[in-house]
Amino acid sequence: MFLDYDGVLTPIVPRPEDAVISDGMRTVVRELASRCPVCVVTGRDRAVVQQLMGIDDLVVAGSHGFDIWTPQRGSVSDDRVARFADLVAAVTDRLRTEIGAIPGALVEPKRASVAVHYRLAEPADRNRIATVVQGLLSEYRGELKVTPGKMVYELAPAVDWDKGRAVLYLIEVLDLDSAGTVPVYLGDDITDEDAFRALRGRGIGILVGRADDPEMAGRTTAAEFVLSSVDEVERFLTALAR
């Protein structure tokens, strides 16, 4: 079972640091993990998501799959994190300098990527934030890629790696590639589409969200199924954990 974090295990809230998992969801995730392998595949920094979940013994693919860790083996990300550390640090510094003074703009550093949030910024300031991000993309052309998310720009090294590649890698590393195993992926945001596409024909993709949510407007998805809310996710995982 591959689980995204924000928007799947916790509702979207104004401030990233307030997205703490509920006691009920934590219990269900733990119960499920006693029945089958559970991996958290998130845009979050790995250590941060472990803290928000209050669980540190699950496989986690943090920073959009760049930073993969298992309780048994520790880091299994090859040199992906180390290779891009200087780039990520330089871009994070620039964002802090150029965006830090814009009210409501938040720069969220991670081990292998960086996010710029504009949910709390005035609409008039959002263009300024987008301009800074576009400027950095031009300056680091070929080195940096930007993926939009829910009121956020996700900046990561421009390599052929994403949540979909991370899920396929985990299936291999964790020996889950057997005929009797069906990988299931739950996600809500644009970066989860890579995972839905990767599992097409070999697993099940479940989009979490509602068509009438303005942040989902115009989205197409490669997922086959839909759950409409975090509450529905909890009921679904509870049924699976029985």
The catalytic residue positions are 4
Q: Which stretch binds ligand L263DTV3 (CB under 6 A): 40-48, 132-140, 164-172, 202-210?
A: 40-48
Q: Which of residues 114-173 bind ligand L263DTV3 (CB under 6 A)?
A: 115, 117, 119, 149-152, 154
Q: Which stretch binds ligand L263DTV3 (CB under 6 A): 15-23, 65-73, 88-96, 206-214?
A: 15-23
Cβ proximity to ligand L263DTV3, 181 vs 236, nearer residue: 236
Cα–Cα nearest to 117, from 168, 44, 166 = 44
| 67 touching ligand L263DTV3, by CB under 6 A | no
In the bound complex, what is the minimum distance in angstroms from residue 180's beta carbon to ligand L263DTV3?
28
Cβ proximity to ligand L263DTV3, 152 vs 167, nearer residue: 152
At residue 206's C-alpha, the angle toward residues 44 and 152, to 5°, is 35
The number of residues in the chain equals 242
Q: Which stretch binds ligand L263DTV3 (CB under 6 A): 42-50, 125-133, 173-181, 219-227?
A: 42-50
- Rg (C-alpha) for the chain, rounded Å, is 17
Cβ proximity to ligand L263DTV3, 9 vs 176, nearer residue: 9
Q: Could you write out the three-class secondary structure of the chain?
A: CEECCECCCECCCCCHHHCCCCHHHHHHHHHHHCCCCCEEECCCCHHHHHHHHCCCCCEEEEHHHCEEEECCCEECCCCHHHHCHHHHHHHHHHHHHHHCCCCCCEEEECCCCEEEECCCCCHHHHHHHHHHHHHHHHHCCCCEEEEEECCEEEEEECCCCCHHHHHHHHHHHCCCCCCCCCCEEEECCHHHHHHHHHHCCCCEEEEECCCCCHHHCCCCCCCCEEECCHHHHHHHHHHHHC
Figure out which of the listed residues 58, 61, 87, 108 binds ligand L263DTV3, where binding follows CB under 6 A: 108
What would the two tokens of residue 70 be? 């298992």
In the bound complex, what is the minimum distance in angstroms from residue 74's beta carbon to ligand L263DTV3?
21
207 bridge partner residues: 187, 226
Cβ proximity to ligand L263DTV3, 96 vs 177, nearer residue: 96
Q: Which stretch binds ligand L263DTV3 (CB under 6 A): 9-17, 27-35, 135-143, 175-183?
A: 9-17
Q: Which of residues 187-226 bind ligand L263DTV3 (CB under 6 A)?
A: 189, 191
In the bound complex, what is the minimum distance in angstroms from residue 115's beta carbon to ligand L263DTV3?
4
Cβ proximity to ligand L263DTV3, 191 vs 221, nearer residue: 191
Q: Applying CB under 6 A, which residues contact ligand L263DTV3?
A: 4-7, 12-16, 19, 42-44, 108, 115, 117, 119, 149-152, 154, 189, 191
